[in-house]
Amino acid sequence: MIRMLRNLVGRFFSPGALVILTIAVVTTTIVALLPAKKVEGIPVWTSAKFHYDAYVPLVAEWNREHPDAQFGLHLLHARALERRMLAGFLSGTPVADVLEVHLGIAAKAFLGPVDEVGFYDLTQRLHDEGIYDLINTPSFAPYTSRGRIFGLPHDVHPVLLAYRSDLVEAAGIDVSQIETWEDYFRVMKPLQQDFDGDGRPDRYLLTAAETRGDVINMLILQSGGALFDANDNPTFNNPISARVLAEITTWYAGPDRTCIDVGASTAAGHRQRLDGIVIGTLMPDWMAGMWKVENPGLAGLIKVMPLPAWTKGGRRTSVAGGTMIGFNKKSPHIEEAWALAKYLYLNPDLAEHTFRETSIISPAKPMWKLPFYDEPDPFFSGQPLGRMFIEQAPDVPPRPSSPYNETAAQMLVSVAIALKSYADRNGIYDADALLPESQRLLDEAQASLQRLISRNVFLQEDQP
């Protein structure tokens, strides 16, 4: 009998397979026996580690003062939060009562009919309590679907232009002469130099490339172009976007290119920026905080200024990123959740902590008067960084809440790559000459995006 069992094991399991099986059984048993971390209270989910750390003492204070409305804070990976949230909204499985999510996750909840969105509709409550008027209006846009507001914004994320002020000022360049992008490249042109004599510049004027969808999207939004309209209908091929795409292609294509791709948060990018490979970078407020931690060597070497406008008198900022707090509409604790959200998002102490740690400004307009926003920032050569971001906050462009935003953003990069390839293949580096091809590529992408959206019968039926 024993010999028979040995023969069977030897026939179906190699020694290696037995080792793997043994390890699997042992580790599974160990994991199963580990004590699970249990958090008591009404569940609050967030995927932002910094937010979680900042909320821990505030939620603890709340719980001490509200024994009948205890909250339990949970930190989840963004992908796990997204999957659990969407699964819960679609199938009715348990979901946290309070969910803090970035705009990419929030938009995916808007895929079906508006009355089937899993988030609680805050529209009436915001207006009845006057909260809507306290918040920077454009900051609601990514969380507004078909006229209904489903989230309270955590931030604004205006964009300024960060530049190597030491190099600019050493060259005697006066940035007050810069109002438009045309001005920027003309005034900064003396800084683009070939130091080693190989015929190629060793310093460029701006971080931009056909693969940098974040930069392209910021520039298109700044110009007034958009991938979707206010009702989330695709406007991918609008003439403004076609013109901007043709123009920026001349920035990073051809022998006279003035832009290069320098990573915003990579070790190589930080080194290149410190070495002066690039002068300017489009900088949302969160990026300012990130650079302070990741590239401290830049302290005192950079300043910020409003973005150059596309036309004289035009918008001098853009926007990138965002987070909201919302509520599971099936929660029995909406009142308590709403009170907690206001306690966190309208808290001046949290606004100050957030700004000092991350440079992110609050979307709550009453907070903008707080004095810490006017303090000189040594990293940015003594400029009042907070005030400079706040000055641009009311003018950040509105953004759509379409669940197809990520798909459209990927299409935009594909179009940008195709247009640069066309320019290089044909030796065309003039924006006017590139405009017809830019429009054609965007028309094709628009048709493809429209076909994709048309398959969603719920959105088609739900359009106002």
Distance of alpha carbon 20 from alpha carbon 430, whole angstroms = 62
What region does 4 belong to: left with phi over 0, alpha with psi -120 to 50, or beta? alpha
Six-digit token pair at 451?
């076909």
| Residue 457: predicted pLDDT | 59
Greater pLDDT, 459 or 343: 343
| Residue 38: predicted pLDDT | 61
What region does 284 belong to: left with phi over 0, alpha with psi -120 to 50, or beta? beta
Average pLDDT over residues 227-254: 93
- The CATH-assigned architecture of domain 42-153+321-395 is 3-Layer(aba) Sandwich (3.40)
Average pLDDT over residues 386-414: 95
Summarize pLDDT for 260-314 with one digit per residue, the tens. Answer: 999 888 899 999 999 999 999 999 999 999 999 999 999 999 999 999 999 999 9
Q: Does 27 have pLDDT greater than 90?
A: no
Q: Among 1-10, 146-155, 277-286, 392-401, whose mean pLDDT is lowest?
A: 1-10
Please give the model's pTM, rounded to 2 decimal places.
0.89
DSSP calls for 43-83: EEEE--HHHHHHHHHHHHHHHHH-TTS-EEEEE--HHHHHH
Start-to-end CA distance of the chain, whole Å, equals 75
**Quick one: pLDDT band at residue 229, thresholds 50, 70, 90?**
confident
Q: Does 40 have pLDDT greater than 90?
A: no
Q: Does 35 have pLDDT greater than 50?
A: no
Distance of alpha carbon 355 from alpha carbon 367, whole angstroms = 11
**Quick one: pLDDT band at residue 121, thresholds 50, 70, 90?**
very high
Residues of the chain with CATH 3.40.190.10: 42-153+321-395, 159-319+401-462
Distance of alpha carbon 112 from alpha carbon 122, whole angstroms = 18
Q: Does 31 have pLDDT greater than 50?
A: no
**Quick one: pLDDT band at residue 458, thresholds 50, 70, 90?**
low
- CATH class of domain segment(s) 159-319+401-462: alpha beta
Q: Among 7-11, 140-144, 377-381, whose mean pLDDT is lowest?
A: 7-11
As a whole-number percent, the residues of the chain with pLDDT over 70 amount to 90
**Quick one: pLDDT band at residue 32, thresholds 50, 70, 90?**
very low
| Residue 463: predicted pLDDT | 54
| Residue 37: predicted pLDDT | 52
Q: What is the mean pLDDT of the chain?
A: 90
Summarize pLDDT for 126-149 with one digit per residue, the tens. Answer: 999 999 999 999 999 999 999 999
Contact 112, 458 (CB under 8 A): yes
Reported for 329-338, long-range contacts at CB under 8 A and 24+ positions apart, including other chains, are 329/117, 329/118, 329/119, 329/120, 329/121, 330/92, 330/95, 330/118, 331/42, 331/97, 331/98, 331/120, 333/42, 333/69, 333/97, 334/120, 336/42, 336/66, 336/69, 336/71, 337/42, 337/97, 337/98, 338/125
Average pLDDT over residues 16-23: 46
**Quick one: pLDDT band at residue 231, thresholds 50, 70, 90?**
confident
What element of type H or E holds 326? strand 323-327
| Residue 10: predicted pLDDT | 53
| Residue 284: predicted pLDDT | 98
